[in-house]
Structure 1
Amino acid sequence: MDYPGFLQRLHEGISEPSGSGRHKQIITFDKPHQYRECLSYLRKLKPELAGLRQVQSARLIRALIAPFPAGDRLGKYHNGVTVEEDTRMKIHAETAHIPKAERNLPMPWGVKQVRAYKAWPSSTGNRIRIGVIDTGADFQHPDLRHSLGRGINLLNRTMLPYDDNGHGTHIAGTIAASNYDGGMVGVAPRALIHPVKAFDYNGAAYVSDIILGIDWCVLNRVDIINMSFGMKSRSKALLDMVNKAYHNGIVIVASSGNEGKRRSIDYPARYSQTISVGATDKYRRIAPFSNRGQFVDVYAPGEKIISSWIHGRYHEMSGTSMATSHVTGSIALLLSLRPELGPAEIKALLKRTATPLRLRKSNGRSSISTKLGEVDAFRLMQEGTK
């Protein structure tokens, strides 16, 4: 392969006026030696070809990520590489507002419902590291002072992953808030969250930023990755990166989506390497907005969840995003005591220890499901430590 020619074409495409539209493209190399050689030339040519300074690398899946004119697929240079058009995805949360009973704390109803407090005498998630790929986190929030570790801002690597949306802070609070004096407490209050800011203030991100976020989580040896977002289309590059994390022993928890679908869920939750999560209400019924069906592994509280918010505040949100954070915190409680457990073992334990759901019938009555369950943090820890 003509690597200098390939990189020259990449530089020219990046440097072209963007009147026709510009999208990032994910360029994956089929063979390790091709990727290594191309990286070597990339380092040499960057000083003289300014466009190449915008190229990012995802080493775990042998990929380069570059902004490129829409519709240009790098022509003859396809031999030995796979080029995938980058796509956008959104966070999985519905309306957000400041509730009237804003201080219905310190323990929100979801944390009570999963029985996390019963596990705390044995485990609070101590030293479990969680990568939350989201909108960032509010580092000044009093409930998160002891819960946030080093992270990364993929939108501006010179800045800390500060949250300018609120969604990431909300997720962080449910997982690991630890303000026992006047604030709120999350499912695993001694776990450590590493905020990975991939989403902008509108709650939108590119697949390529998710890939780079997972790459960072693997290289920084987190134990769990929380992914409260999704999209309708599948991405081979994202699947490859999820696979890398899975085979590195990282538990990946992903939300199913909020369209109320009965037979389909969003990606990446639909990948079998993840633990896919649907949302329930206070009565252990599937929330009307939650995607459901055979691809959902477990359900968790996701309707009218109060948690931390930017500027030191609290908001109420609904969505499978909120459900996912309850499952992530529950897994952290178990992993703190059994760090050797792998992703497949944890998924099986979650299903086995879940509390049966109530299903709505057409006549208005409800029945108990024998197949669908809501996460039970206490029972998960009990069974997982036998």
Structure 2
Amino acid sequence: MDYYGFWQMLLEEMKAASKSAPRHIVTFNDPRMYAGALSQWKSLKSKKPGLRQVQVSTLIRAFFVPAAGAERLMDRYADSLSIEEDHRIKVHSPLADKSGSALMPWGIRAIRAPQAWSRSTGVHVKIGVIDTGVDFRHPDLRHSLASGVNLLNRGMMPLDDNGHGTHIAGTLAAAGGARNMMGVAPRALLYPVKAFDHNGSAYVSDIVLGIDWCVQNKIDIINMSFGMRNRSKALHDVVIKAYRAGIAIIASAGNDGKRGGDYPARYPETIAVGALDRRQRVAAFSNRGPYIDVYGPGEGIPSCWLREGYKEMSGTSMATSHVTGAAALLLALRPGLSPRELKLLLRRTASPVRLRKGQRRASLGGGAADALRLLRVGIRARRGNGSAASAAGSGAGGSGGSSSGAKAAAAAKA
């Protein structure tokens, strides 16, 4: 392959493209050809400043370019490359926006996290929070935060300019500041990965780079409270890489109130989360379906906010942070647990959700997250030297007990 010619063609297309031209993800099929292209890019970018706009993911052998002549590239290098548009992806925007008090949030109590704290508070578990950043000055978060990374500006801290990421961080690991706000896993360590801008918007490439960073930094769990309707090969590839590296990805299903849901929650390697209301029913706004692994509290959730404040929000984003926190409590006790085992334990230890009129339990997927039951079964599996999967099957038998569904079965084969 003519690597110089490849980069010269790409540079010409980038210069000719309009500002509104779509970004692209260019993935090499052959690792050796990717290595050659990467080496040439490193040597050229000091001489050709336009190439400095290109970003790299070694995990999936991809280059992310602000604009690319996909047709010309595919015509010349069709056997060597795959090219997809770098789609926009959004945080799952909350549906409520009220000032919140800092009392013990009802969702923390609903999943029985306080009863679990005598056994685990999530100590030493590293959670990657791919989101809008976090308020590092918040009194309830300052002891729970690592430095993380800002993918939008590598020279800056991952500071939150939206609020969504700070709210997620509070539910995950707030540690009882002056106003007594508590998260599910108050001694877990959060690594903010700022991939979303002030509008709560990112590109798929930003998410790929975020997951890539988490893998390189040996994060234990990744919280992904966002989604899109498009299916992305690059995003799925990097999710698979994280899964095989032993990192659990917990993702929100979306707020369209429909059967089905968004990616990445629909990928079999993730743990898909829907939202419950205060009555333990699937929230009206929550997506649902057999692919949902577990539901978490998602209606009227108070948590931390910008400028050291508090806010009440609703959404599958909020539900996801409850489930990620519960997973962190278990991983503190069982650090070797695989993503597959964690998924099965979450499903099998979930409690049945309350049904609305006309609903069938099988159509909803998993049940309601229960942190205390999750720890009891997880600890029993360790003491008995059995697999987590078999222990989960003999557990209290939540609503996911009879069948793990097609999504869980596919993940088991991944």
TM-score range, shorter chain: over 0.9
Q: Which residue of 2 aligns with 1:58?
A: 57
Q: Which residue of 1 aligns with 2:117?
A: 120
How many angstroms apart in 2 are the aligned matches of 1:378 and 1:40? 51
Q: Which residue of 1 aligns with 2:373?
A: 379
Deviates more, 1:352-361 or 1:178-187: 178-187
Deviation at 1:17, TM superposition (A): 5.2
Deviates more, 1:29-38 or 1:10-19: 10-19
Q: How does 1:201-280 map to 2 (within 5 A)?
A: 201-262=198-259, 264-280=260-276
Q: Which residue of 1 aligns with 2:388?
A: none
Q: How does 1:182-193 map to 2 (within 5 A)?
A: 182-193=179-190
Q: Which residue of 1 aligns with 2:15?
A: 15
Partner amino acid, structure 2, of 1:291: N
Whose strand fraction is larger, Structure 1's or Structure 2's? Answer: 1
Provide the identity percentage: 58
How many angstroms apart in 2 are the aligned matches of 1:173 and 1:94? 15
Deviation at 1:22, TM superposition (A): 2.1
Q: Which residue of 2 aligns with 1:97?
A: 97
CA contact (8 A) 2:24 2:68 kept: no
How many angstroms apart in 2 are the aligned matches of 1:64 and 1:36? 12
How many angstroms apart in 2 are the aligned matches of 1:96 and 1:156? 30
How many angstroms apart in 1 are the aligned matches of 2:253 and 2:97? 22
Q: Which residue of 1 aligns with 2:146?
A: 149
Note the alpha carbon deviations across 1:330-374, whole angstroms, 9 max, x for none.
000000000011000011100111011000115xxx998896410
The match for 2:128 among 127, 131, 151 is 131
CA contact (8 A) 1:96 1:315 kept: no
How many angstroms apart in 2 are the aligned matches of 1:211 and 1:73? 25
How many angstroms apart in 2 are the aligned matches of 1:261 and 1:320? 13
Note the alpha carbon deviations across 1:21-67, whole angstroms, 9 max, x for none.
22221111101101111111111111211111111110000001111
CA contact (8 A) 1:93 1:317 kept: no
Q: How does 1:25-40 map to 2 (within 5 A)?
A: 25-40=24-39
How many angstroms apart in 1 are the aligned matches of 2:21 and 2:360? 52
Partner amino acid, structure 1, of 2:79: N
Deviation at 1:76, TM superposition (A): 1.4
**Residues 78, 71 of structure 1: alpha-carbon distance in 2 compared, 3 angstrom cutoff:** closer
Note the alpha carbon deviations across 1:132-178, whole angstroms, 9 max, x for none.
00000000001101011021111111111000000000000000000
TM-score by length of 2: 0.88
How many angstroms apart in 1 are the aligned matches of 2:285 and 2:226? 14
Note the alpha carbon deviations across 1:267-290, whole angstroms, 9 max, x for none.
000000000000001110000000
How many angstroms apart in 2 are the aligned matches of 1:226 and 1:53? 30
Note the alpha carbon deviations across 1:298-356, whole angstroms, 9 max, x for none.
00000111100111011111110000000000000000000011000011100111011
Deviation at 1:96, TM superposition (A): 4.2
SS at match of 1:150: coil
Q: How does 1:295-374 map to 2 (within 5 A)?
A: 295-362=291-358, 372-374=366-368
- Does 1:170 pair with 2:189? no
How many angstroms apart in 2 are the aligned matches of 1:96 and 1:167? 12
SS at match of 2:26: strand
Structure 1, unpaired ranges of 5+: none
How many angstroms apart in 1 are the aligned matches of 2:36 and 2:269? 31
Superposition RMSD in Å: 1.6
How many angstroms apart in 1 are the aligned matches of 2:30 and 2:360? 53
Deviation at 1:13, TM superposition (A): 1.9
SS at match of 2:329: helix
**Residues 3, 367 of structure 1: alpha-carbon distance in 2 compared, 3 angstrom cutoff:** closer
Q: Which residue of 2 aligns with 1:88?
A: 88
- Count residues in correspondence: 378
How many angstroms apart in 2 are the aligned matches of 1:367 and 1:76? 53
Q: Which residue of 1 aligns with 2:196?
A: 199
**Residues 86, 371 of structure 1: alpha-carbon distance in 2 compared, 3 angstrom cutoff:** closer
TM-score by length of 1: 0.95
Q: Which residue of 2 aligns with 1:76?
A: 76
How many angstroms apart in 2 are the aligned matches of 1:151 and 1:160? 8
Structure 2, unpaired ranges of 5+: 381-414
Partner amino acid, structure 1, of 2:101: R
